[in-house]
Amino acid sequence: MCPRNYGSGRPRGYCPDGQCPNGQCADAPAHCRPLRLIWLKGRRGPPCACRGVGRRGVQVRFAKPSDIRSIPSATGGIARLACARMRESGKGMASVLSGAGLTAAEVDDPKLRLEVRTQIKVLDLAAQELQDECLGFNLARSFDLREIGLLYYVMASSRDLAEALRNAERYSGINNEGVRLRYRAQPATVISLEYFNVDRALDRHQIEFWLITVVRLCRELTGIRLAPKTMSVRHVRGRTPPEYRSYLGGQVEFGTEADEIVFAQKVAALPLVRADGYLNRLLRRYADEALRDRPQPSKGVRGQVERVLPQLLPHGKATTSEVARELGFSRRTLSRALSAEGTTFSRILDELRATMAKHYLKDRELPVTEIAWLLGYRETGSFTHAFRRWTGTSPSRFRASSHARGDGAAPAAPQ
């Protein structure tokens, strides 16, 4: 447990400043939780969540806490494929949807993006219900690659595999903002997947889906059954399932330092069977527009305030004076700058609290008392009063309505 004094109004088990006092947490689940609560009780995660160090000492890439728009989202296609697989197997999905904080209507809406963490949760729960420890692998082998959507067609119309992989590197964020595809050509053709603002240690099935899908894409686009020299996966398995080696035709290693696929260097120069320069230029324009249309954090002084506030809220320091100090302004200068942008500090604080409250309430494992603390309220009653003002209902009723149970799912663009 953290030896520091938490002070009044703070839940037991929180580091007051987000820093591990000993440099490493031996008891992290009860010890220190960052603003996003990446490691809740009963979940696997890095040995020190506050420092973001993953298993095997690998640094987990987290941005500093920012506004709610920095939380990575995905099209939710992989989660919807898992739900469709459950429906085909005659399994009820109520427990999976409830456990992931989703409703049937949300899963059925292919236009609705899901948080990447939510998708990971769906896959984990679905794998348990289906008793399929290779769910991500099995889903990736059988779905129609065209369901990937615009990214697939941009890749397929590229000149050669190298160009297709460079396009995937540029545009993969359209499908999943929490996974970054990287490509390098020397000394071999290497495709790696990096997690951004998502704890890689929590994931198993999504990353296996991605890796197998990338291999399938390389094979389909070139018309050749390419076999990777190696495929490396960061999470650990007791044994490598034989179907992995059989499908890939190469070496598979688990418990490594990176998630990556390695092909021979000459593979990158292979021409694609559906190459179409004119179509590719047209599709890349659409893809560039899709990138621009993604929600972006606010700019200007308002954006700076929104990025600072989440760090200060749990400690009761979300005041004009403290935010001004963090930004290097005087209190008066900050107020004038916000006024010039047509807003006020109190309005930004109120709107941000309302948005974050709705987000946190979707997590059923997070008590309302802790949500109140995260938002800077010393008393739960004050938070409840504010939430009624924002929504016209209580936090508990809002949570119940958000977790209405139901079955049914429809597949959508994976990733």
Q: How does pLDDT run along the chain (415 residues), one tens digit per residue?
A: 333 333 333 333 333 333 333 333 333 333 233 333 332 333 333 333 333 333 333 333 333 334 455 578 899 999 999 999 999 999 999 999 989 988 888 898 988 899 999 999 999 999 999 999 999 999 999 999 999 999 999 999 999 999 999 999 999 999 999 999 999 998 999 999 999 878 899 899 999 999 999 999 999 999 999 999 999 999 999 889 999 999 999 889 999 999 999 999 999 999 999 999 999 999 999 899 888 776 655 668 888 888 788 878 887 889 999 999 888 889 999 999 999 888 999 999 999 899 888 888 887 778 898 899 889 998 999 999 999 999 999 999 998 887 653 333 333 456 6
Q: Residue 312 has which token pair?
A: 């200060």
Domains of the chain in start order, with CATH, are 1-60 (no CATH), 73-293 (3.90.1520), 300-402 (1.10.10.60)
pLDDT of residue 10: 35
Q: CB 281: neighbour CB atoms within 10 A?
A: 10
Residue 389: Cβ-neighbour burial (10 angstroms; 0-12, 13-18, 19+): exposed
pLDDT of residue 191: 97
> pTM of the prediction?
0.62
311 vs 346: CA distance, rounded Å:
16
pLDDT of residue 296: 59
Query: Strands, DSSP E only, in 175-288?
Result: 179-184, 189-195, 230-233, 251-254, 259-263
pLDDT of residue 82: 96
pLDDT of residue 277: 94
Residue tagged 């898992």 (tokens): 82
pLDDT of residue 299: 66
Question: What type of residue sits at position 42?
Answer: G
pLDDT of residue 182: 95
CA dihedral over 104, 110, 115, 119, signed as positive or negative: positive
pLDDT of residue 42: 34
1 vs 228: CA distance, rounded Å:
46
pLDDT of residue 298: 61
pLDDT of residue 214: 98
Query: At 73, which helix (H) or strand (E)?
Result: strand 73-74
